[in-house]
Amino acid sequence: MAIPKLDTPIHTTTLPSTGEEIKYRPFLVKEQKLMLIAQDTKDVQEAYNNLKGVIDACTFSKLDIGNLPVFDIEYMFLKVRSKSVGSKANVSVICPDDGETRQVIEIDLDEVDVQVDEEHTNKIPISDDITVVMKYPRLKDTTTLKENDASSMVDMITSCIQEVHHGETVYASTDMNDKEKREFLESFNMEQFAKLNKFFDTMPKIRHYVKVKNPKTEVESDVLIEGLESFLA
């Protein structure tokens, strides 16, 4: 006798970067194992591969996971997690009034959304006749980032150059190799490089404000939670 198959509910959401309607399901036991490994491992590449595997399975392999912006990946993961184990999550935050006291608060993941800074643009004027058009970093672009490492930062920025406009001439990313793009970036002065950094500082992120009360000082503060790691802390 064949063992009966269980029905899995299907949900829909809108992909932040494109507005495309996406169908997804909760993760199953086999994917939960991957998710737990992704949370606990110190190997960034392993965490990336497991996170990608969970989202790919739960969206029926309809998304090009490897080329999605980081904020799409984070958003989809929270949606899948919410429908799998519930929308409530406990998050550890530091009380800003003393900078050291930790409080665990409960948040509703269904209220968390991708937010865009009003000053954000992907068209960066570098000089009077040169404009750089940027694309959002993919998850794999960020796995090579090292803290306080200028070289890895330049590598990530290089991977995000989509076009360079010089007057009426447009140079597509495919027209340039990595060495040429790196040399182009390294010719920037600090003011020009800061304009590129602003693209990353203001790009869409999953963000959510919560109120937290410090039990030691009784001071209540607004705390910003952003980035997937913060919501899984």
Instruction: Determine, yes or no, domain membership for 3.
Output: no
Q: Spell out the alpha helix ranges (H) of the chain.
A: 29-40, 44-58, 70-85, 139-142, 150-159, 178-186, 190-202, 228-232
Q: Is the dihedral of CA 43, 48, 51, 53 positive or negative?
A: negative
Residues 94 and 196 in one domain: no
Q: For strand 113-115 and strand 123-125, is the pairing parallel, antiparallel, or unpaired?
A: unpaired
**Structural domain boundaries enclosing 216:** 88-112+204-233
Mean pLDDT, residues 194-210: 92
pTM to 2 decimals?
Answer: 0.84
Longest CA–CA span in the chain (Å) reads 75
Distance CA 90, CA 109 (A): 10
pLDDT at 44 over 90: no
Q: How many CB atoms lie within 10 A of CB 58?
A: 26
pLDDT digits (tens, 9 = 90+) for 22-31: 999 998 888 8
User: For residues 220 and 213, is the Cβ–Cβ distance under 8 A?
Assistant: yes
Residues 73 and 32 in one domain: yes
Residues 73 and 176 in one domain: no
pLDDT at 75 over 80: yes
* Lowest mean pLDDT, pick from 10-19, 21-30, 118-127, 146-155: 146-155
